[in-house]
Structure 1
Amino acid sequence: MDSVVQHLFNHSRLEITLARITECTADSYNISVEYQVTDTGPVGSVIDSMLVDVVYLDRPFGKTQLPKVKMRFNGAHVHFDDQTIHVTDMSIWLQFCSDLTHNEKLVYHLRNGEAHLKGPFGTTAQSGYDKDIHVLGMNGFPVLIKDVDREEGKVTLTMRNLSAFEIDYGPTVFEIQEGGEEGQWRTIARLKGDFFTKRGEFHVPFEVETVSLDGEIHHAQGGEVNESGISPAAKQLGLDVEKTYYFRGIRTDKEGAWTNEAIKFIRSPILLTEKFISLY
């Protein structure tokens, strides 16, 4: 039986197909996870629920309770819902969120578990549990302008999340910025709305506030946008539709949630369309 255990834990693969993060606070979040366990060998077994450390870059940032799993010869599909993770190392958790946003691939680990396994004919065994989890990242989180509603002062963005992780940031403010000389950036619009990154391609509507270079904000809410406060430089800036501008998250007031910091990691180039420029 020991050889079966060693095969199961040394050679099996755990693939995350969904990790949905919600209810974010200053030091915790709820997570719902779906994953596949494969390459488990020909013998069926049952693995009891166990508590493991969640580790990134060799530093644990929380614990998760893996559910009881009934393994078959072809593996198992596993899920659990709304488990609360208390973040014990916020700096490494935010580093994970940053790498998840920007990298194509990354690896985190489940460690220090004590696995109790029940095999056929009443056999039992136990083993330490350490598993590397390979996941796809968002790879820069591509963003496009899908539609602009001038009358309502709204814009719909198309976003592409290549990872299995979904994060509910809640009410969020983004800035569209133009790159100036010597690395300086100037805000030309602010977008506000509820922001929930979904798997694959998804669309998010935002309310638009256009911003002049002197810092005044013009609300684009119905009718014609008042251009009297927008400088000629800003209008010329918007006419160059071939330029790539910057789409960047900024801090929002959500009771000090860690998402206030994590949203800043989303920094994607965005090409302004003629309909968007018409808001000016």
Structure 2
Amino acid sequence: MDSVVQYILDRSHLEVTLIKITNATEESFVMSIESRATGTGPVPAKLAPMEVDLVFAGACFGKLKLPEVTTSPSGCDVNIYDQLIPVVDIVAFRAFVKSLMVDEKLSLTLDNGKCSITAFRFLKGNCIYKKDVHIKGMNGPATRIVKATAEENTVVVANPSPLHIDYRVSKFKVRDGKGETVAELKGPMIIQRGETEVTMAITRKTGVSVDGEGLRLVGVGTEDKAWTDDTLQFINVPIGLTDEFRSFYQPA
């Protein structure tokens, strides 16, 4: 029975539709995951709760408790909400966050789960749960300014990934092609799935031009003392500007 269970689990697929990261501290975060398991076999079965390692690029950065799950031939939902994750390897975790933000795709491995399965109420098996989860990354993310006033700017962040991450109050710079700062932005930054509008206060620099190419939005850090402060710096992307934004730099 154990070998059959292991074979079925190895052939199953886990599709993640939401990775929500909030409440960042220097050593932890709160995570919610929504996903669906398919290919778990023709017989309904019950998987007991278990704990798995969260592994990226061969390094474990935390542990996740998976709930009890009942499979079916058509698949089953595997959802975890508001679970506190202590970070056991901050370097590995930062690498995971960076890949989520800048890469087109990545893999997260759920590993070392001691899995117990029951089918037909009397057939039981044990195995080691290990599953590579393929995730679409944010690939940037792409950004553009859609509204500008003297005091505020509204930025649209386009996020094709399942990641939802709350950076809280964040600081950015808009830099020209030479690396010179033309504006500073500050405000709450929550990157959600799809397109998100974020409105931030703006401080413009004088004596600079925004007429050239190559302007970029660069993450500076957050007000919180947490791992978000330096991972925000992974954002360094081209930014689209409106004529309205440029008009504030034109001489009267």
**1:147 & 1:111 partners in 2: Cα distance?**
45
| Letter of the 2:219 counterpart | G
**1:11 & 1:104 partners in 2: Cα distance?**
25
- Residue 14 of structure 1 aligns with which residue? 14
- Residue 174 of structure 2 aligns with which residue? 176
By how many angstroms is 1:9 displaced? 1.2
Query: Given that residues 113 and 130 in structure 1 are in contact (C-alpha distance below 8 angstroms), is that contact kept between their aligned partners in structure 2?
Result: yes
**2:171 & 2:162 partners in 1: Cα distance?**
24
Query: Given that residues 173 and 252 in structure 1 are in contact (C-alpha distance below 8 angstroms), is that contact kept between their aligned partners in structure 2?
Result: yes
By how many angstroms is 1:3 displaced? 4.9
**1:95 & 1:3 partners in 2: Cα distance?**
35
Which structure has the larger Rg? Answer: 1
**2:83 & 2:246 partners in 1: Cα distance?**
44
- Residue 269 of structure 1 aligns with which residue? 238
- Residue 84 of structure 2 aligns with which residue? 84
Query: Structure 1 stretches of 5 or more lacking a match?
Result: 212-229
The answer on 1:205 being equivalent to 2:199 is yes
By how many angstroms is 1:193 displaced? 0.9
TM-score normalised to structure 2 length: 0.95
- Residue 109 of structure 1 aligns with which residue? 109
Residue-by-residue CA offset, 1:24-59 (whole Å, 9 max, x unaligned): 000100011100000111000000110111101111
Query: Given that residues 53 and 60 in structure 1 are in contact (C-alpha distance below 8 angstroms), is that contact kept between their aligned partners in structure 2?
Result: yes
Query: Given that residues 247 and 270 in structure 1 are in contact (C-alpha distance below 8 angstroms), is that contact kept between their aligned partners in structure 2?
Result: yes
When structure 1 is superposed on structure 2, of 6-15 and 53-62 the one drifting more is 6-15
Query: Given that residues 167 and 222 in structure 2 are in contact (C-alpha distance below 8 angstroms), is that contact kept between their aligned partners in structure 1?
Result: no
Residue-by-residue CA offset, 1:160-182 (whole Å, 9 max, x unaligned): 111101110000011001122xx
By how many angstroms is 1:278 displaced? 2.1
| Letter of the 1:59 counterpart | A
Q: Paired residues, what number? A: 249
**2:197 & 2:112 partners in 1: Cα distance?**
40
**1:9 & 1:161 partners in 2: Cα distance?**
31
By how many angstroms is 1:148 displaced? 1.6
**1:8 & 1:21 partners in 2: Cα distance?**
31
Query: Structure 2 stretches of 5 or more lacking a match?
Result: none
**1:203 & 1:4 partners in 2: Cα distance?**
49
Residue 226 of structure 2, aligned match among 257, 271, 274: 257
By how many angstroms is 1:159 displaced? 1.0
Query: Given that residues 22 and 31 in structure 2 are in contact (C-alpha distance below 8 angstroms), is that contact kept between their aligned partners in structure 1?
Result: yes
**2:33 & 2:154 partners in 1: Cα distance?**
28
**1:77 & 1:61 partners in 2: Cα distance?**
24
Root mean square deviation of aligned Cα? 1.2
Residue-by-residue CA offset, 1:138-158 (whole Å, 9 max, x unaligned): 1110001111234xx111111
**1:128 & 1:116 partners in 2: Cα distance?**
9
**1:260 & 1:172 partners in 2: Cα distance?**
8
- Residue 31 of structure 1 aligns with which residue? 31
